[in-house]
A and B are shown apart, each in its own frame.
Chain A
Amino acid sequence: MNNSIAKEKIISLRKKRSLEDMRFKYYGFTAMCLSLAVLVFLLYTIFSKGYTAFQKTIVLLEVDYNQEVLKLTPDSSDEDMEKGKFFRVKKQAIENFFPDLSKSDIKLVKKLFSTNVDKEIKDYFLDNPEVINTKQQIWVTAHSDVDQLLKGNSRRDVPEDRRKLNDIQLSYVDQLVEENRVKQVFNNFFFTKADSRHPEIAGVAGSFMGSLFTLFTVFILSFPIAIGASVYLEEFAPKNRITELIEVNISNLAAVPSIVFGLLGLGVLLNVFGLPRSTPLVGGSVLALMTLPTIIIACRASLKAVPPSIKEGALAVGATKTQAVFHHVVPLALPGTLTGTIIGLAQALGETAPLIMIGMIAFIPNIPTGLTEPSAALPVQIYLWVESAERGFQEKSAAAIMVILIFLFMMNAIAVFLRNRFERKW
């Protein structure tokens, strides 16, 4: 009697306990799935917001390259061609874009085109000078407002005063769509142009080059210094307080917020040393100091992984310690150090705050060509576009994020490849 009650109690207790066990396991499982779901959602958000930026809207414009209007003759020299009055040709083309446009409507129609149209009309002419005195059908870039409307990113059912395009402009756009005078093509500007005030001609080429120059500086500075430091600490350093101080210092430096490194760059590199603001040279130096601890830690790990017997073998046949380390240990550790450096570079690539501090946030409308030229960087470009009120920049920022993520992914892939290809198990 008593026995069976006790038995039941034990059984129910066991059930309760195993239920608890299951529940705890599922808490863990749910937490893991939630974290991964956020990752998926994040990538989905970026993709869904950004994929439209890889297309641009172009409009068919009939341009009359009349020699009177251009103030050119068929046998003008190339220099004179450059000075042709193309803005007048464009004005005329827009006036005749729709039949019977009133003066106020011309102004409205003008706003359907990008500011880059002048240049496109000119470039077309300079490429084909024989079109003088003919009418040409040219596809030119549409204004960002038209672009956003046709991509469905801005809505047409909101009140007129909260829209970029008013009702008359909307009807014109609809007419264009009906007449097939507008289409969407691959957005080459996004990959060939630098930043711009106009979303339709803004691209990542400038900031991409800026990031490349910055990473180059980071690599040049941090790789040799990190290898030197880790070889010293791992192979030569005597065990004393100074060595310990350096080690504590490195591990603390690894956790200093990145913005503080930006303040260091501003306070020391710019204000004391007077290096040029907004340049990849300064940005790279700051990021190199920032990633140095990460790379040193990785380099030391790969030096540690080389078995001591290699060094001892070299010492046994009469090599000096320096020879043993530099001829035998370092070459074997090199793939590991490279992997660590690439991971450090990947970290530097995504870093934004220090670059803002040293002025790489300035508006730079051209593609930099050197380390000491003012330039933007990819993450800062993303920040500028996210903060921008203009609607057309939002898809650009998401697309730029895709570019940076692909870049990061490739760097990590190279690191993994190096690790798998060259790492030896001893």
Chain B
Amino acid sequence: MFFWSLVLIAVGIFSSFIYGRSRIKLNSKKQGTKSKSLPNYYAQYVLMWCLFPALIVYFSWAIFQEQIIQNIVISNFEFIEGAVYNEGLLLAEIRNVANNPSFADGKSIEIINAASHYSSLRQISQISFYTSIIIIMLLGALYASQKLKPEFHAQHTIEKYIQYILIFCSSVAIFTTIGIVFSLIFESLRFFAEVSIFEFLFSTEWYPFIPIREGQTAAEGSFGAVPIFAGTFLVMVVAMCVAVPLGLLTAIYLAEYASQRVRKIVKPLLEILAGIPTIVYGFFAFVSVAPFVKAFGQSIGIDASPTSALAAGMVMGVMIIPFISSLSDDVINSVPQSLREASLGIGANKAETIKKVILPAALPGIVGAFLLAISRAIGETMIVVVAAGTAPNLTGNPFENVTTVTVQIVVALIGDQEFDNPRTLSAFALGLVLFVITLFLNIIALQIVKRYRERYE
């Protein structure tokens, strides 16, 4: 379906363009006047009218087809009195049977009926999809071809359309933000309808189990996210303890001491460090660092678990080093040369100049860089998923197993997802917290950096 619709659209683009070009030439010849714009603009005009309505139909069809078909199938389903149905499971079963007839063995008759209903609806939908796309393309081209007269200003219209397209492109970023905010808030509200927001934010018990059967109170889950926040904080602190000194000192060395040649070699190497996918760091933490941390813990008499906050945090720190060093490098380089020269001129040596003049001058920018790094550390997922563990543990001991917000989101959403229980929905509530905190850190950091830049520009 996907391939053939692309072919259809390509044919539409090509033929409408050719048609528009030849038609306007013909029309202007007939009237004996020159057209107001070049023939290509008329061709583009026809093309746009042919393409865009069809694309809108295409996407809305792709988006809503499955939903509508499912609703029809479910509303026509022969429910048996007294039996309890789970809509999601039922639909999955119907789809399975419809896609592979071999699954039909042993399924009840109403499911097989629904599956054949489903397949026939899909077929109808496919056929009407192609016909409606073709009709809409033709209608669009027909509408546009009526305007193909030499006195019509095709270029003006085209340029206006191009403006609309560009504005649409720029607003994709806004739609994305709106989509994030709405999906997070919507699902979180469903979560908070079942779990009180105070329990979520202030209680220290995180047992995201849900009763399997009705009335099974013993297994009632509790969703107090404090241990998760604490674990995130602990890993973040360890990471910053590694990244801040290494990153900042590297930046100072590169900006103030290193020769041009060293800079030319080291900066790309640090960029490699920055470009390595985080799952690779996760592998590194799991294979090399975690066993080392465990052995180290045992050698000093601490019982370290095989996955620990320390291992995950250290590797995360390494990941953040290039981030801090490149941001701080920029900041240090933008400190005016005159400050440096003044300090050196009254007899201070380089270290004193850096410590007493440059760093204080660059401090706001460096703080901004740290805040951005913290937000990176909080939002980092793969390292902690692989190396930090999943047990909610309210502890300050970095040798212990802790869990983070991102890990819990992944854990809640791996495997079968059913959007009617708080365990799955808790991922969205945690995501909302994550989003708000990182957004907050970013806005502050960007403000600080911006003000700092303005001061020296």
0/1 interface trace, chain B 124-138, chain A, CB 8 Å (1 if under): 000000000000000
Which residue of B has the minimal Cβ distance to A252? B442
CB contact between A20 and one of B167, B168, B286, B351 (< 8 Å): that residue: B351
Taking CB atoms, residues of chain B closer than 8 Å to A24 are 350-351, 354-355
B27 at the interface (CB under 8 A from A): no
Question: Do A256 and B173 contact each other (CB < 8 Å), given the known contacts A29-B257, A267-B186?
Answer: no
Q: Can you name the residue of chain A whose Cβ is closest to the Cβ of B350?
A: A21
- With A24-B351, A46-B283 in contact, is A229–B406 under 8 Å at CB? no
Q: A249 on the interface (CB 8 Å rule)?
A: yes
Q: How far is the CA of A98 from the CA of B378 in the complex (A)?
A: 58
Tell me the minimal C-beta distance from A241 to chain B in angstroms.
13
Residue of A nearest to B446 (CB): A251
Docked-complex contact B283 and A382, CB < 8 angstroms: yes
Query: In the complex, which residues 374-426 of chain A have their Cβ closer than 8 Å to any Cβ of chain B?
Result: 379, 382-383, 386-387, 394, 397-398, 401, 404-405, 408, 412
A232 at the interface (CB under 8 A from B): yes
Whether B288 and A250, one on each chain, are in contact in the complex, defined by CB atoms closer than 8 angstroms, is no
- Does A259 interact with chain B (Cβ within 8 Å)? yes
Stretch of B140-148, B248-256, B335-343 at the chain-chain interface: B248-256
CB of A261 closer than 8 Å to a CB of B: yes
Range, interface on chain A: 35 or more
Task: Tell me the count of chain B residues lying within 8 A, CB to CB, of chain A.
Answer: 99
B424: min CB distance to chain A, Å: 10
Contact A28/B438 with A21-B351, A237-B170 known, Cβ cut-off 8 Å: no
User: Any chain A CB within 8 A of the CB of B14?
Assistant: no
Asked if A225 CB lies within 8 Å of chain B CBs, one says yes
| Residue of chain A at shortest CB distance from B325 | A35
Given contacts A32-B250, A260-B435, contact A267 B184 (CB under 8 A): yes
Task: For chain B, residues 223 to 270, give those with C-beta under 8 angstroms from any C-beta of chain A.
Answer: 245-250, 252-254, 256-258, 266, 269-270
Q: Which of B201-209, B213-221, B294-302, B426-434 contacts A (4 or more CB under 8 A)?
A: B426-434
How close is B389's CB to chain A, nearest CB, in angstroms? 12
B439 touches A256 (CB 8 A): yes
Which single member of B70, B174, B280, B351 contacts A405 (CB below 8 Å)?
B280
Q: Indicate if the CB atoms of A256 and B438 lie closer than 8 Å.
A: yes
Expressed in whole angstroms, the Cα–Cα distance for A30 and B179 within the complex equals: 46
Pick from A36, A233, A322: contact of B170, CB below 8 A. Answer: A233
Interchain nearest-CB distance for B315 vs A (Å): 9
Give the distance to chain B from A51, nearest Cβ to Cβ, in Å.
Answer: 14
A263 to B427, CA, bound (A): 8
A255 at the interface (CB under 8 A from B): yes
Question: Chain A contacts of B278 at CB under 8 A?
Answer: 350, 352
Question: In the assembled complex, how far is the CB of residue A317 from the closest CB belonging to chain B, in whole angstroms?
Answer: 16
Contact of A25 with B351 in the complex, beta carbons under 8 Å: yes
In the complex, A264 Cα to B442 Cα: how many Å? Answer: 19
Residues of the A chain whose Cβ atoms lie less than 8 Å from the Cβ of B176: 253, 264, 289, 292
Residue B3 at the chain A interface, CB threshold 8 Å: yes
